[in-house]
Amino acid sequence: MAPLIAAYVGFVAALMKGARIIIGLLLIASVALNFANVFGRYALHTPIVGAEEVMTFFMVGIVFIGFPRVMWEGRHIRMDILMKFLPAVWQSALDYFIALVSIGAGAGVVYVATPVIMQLVSFDERSEASNVPLALPQAMIPIGYFLMILVIIARLLDPANRYAPSDAHKGGEG
C-alpha cells in the first residue's frame, strides 16, 4: 500500500478509535444521568428538569457517531445477497457504484445540514426543557455522514480490508 494511502487509512482508524471513546462516554453519561434522575425523582422528589431531553440528545450522538464506526468494523448490514450471484467483475463494479452513491448521499446530507446548523448557532436556538443549544445534537448528523464518507473512501483505498472487519477485531482494540 502506498505511504499516502496508508497514512489516510491510519488517520481514519484513529478517528474511529476516537469515535469509540466518544460513544462510550456518551453512553456512560446517559446512564449516569438516568440514574441521577431516577434517584432524584423517587428518593428526593425532585427530578432533573430536561434529563430525558439530554438523554435523547446523547442517543442521537451515539447513533450518528456510531454508524461510521460500525461500518469501519465491517458489521453494517449489506444488501448483497444478489451481488454474490454476479461475476466478479460485476460485483466489483456494483460495489464501487454503491460506494459512490453512498458518498454522494452523505455529501448531500452534509451540504444540506450545514447551513441549518449555522442558522441554529446564529439564532442561538435552544431546547425547551434543558436549554441545550440545538446546534449540538443537530451537528451530530452531518458529522456522522462526513465520518461515513471518510470510512467509505478508506475502505475503497484499502482493498485488503474492504469487506473484512478492520482493526476492531485485532487484539480487542479499535
At 109-129, the pLDDT tens digits run: 999 999 999 999 999 999 999
First to last CA, the chain: 20
- At 159, the pLDDT band (50, 70, 90 cuts) reads confident
Let me know if residue 137 belongs to a domain: yes
- Separation between Cα atoms, residue 141 and residue 109, nearest integer Å: 8
| More confident: 134 or 170 | 134
What secondary structure does DSSP assign to 6-33, as a single string? HHHHHHHHHHHHHHHHHHHHHHHHHHHH
Let me know if residue 155 belongs to a domain: yes
What secondary structure does DSSP assign to 32-49, as a single string? HHHHHHHHHHHTSS-PPT
Question: For residue range 51-94, what is the model confidence (pLDDT) as tens digits?
Answer: 999 999 999 999 999 999 998 887 777 777 777 888 888 888 88
Let me know if residue 108 belongs to a domain: yes
- Separation between Cα atoms, residue 92 and residue 72, nearest integer Å: 19
Question: For residue range 88-110, what is the model confidence (pLDDT) as tens digits?
Answer: 888 888 888 989 999 999 999 99
Let me know if residue 35 belongs to a domain: yes
Let me know if residue 174 belongs to a domain: no
Q: Fill in the amino acid letter for 80.
A: D
Domain count, the chain: 1
Indicate the pTM of the whole model. Answer: 0.86
Domain of residue 98, residue span = 3-169
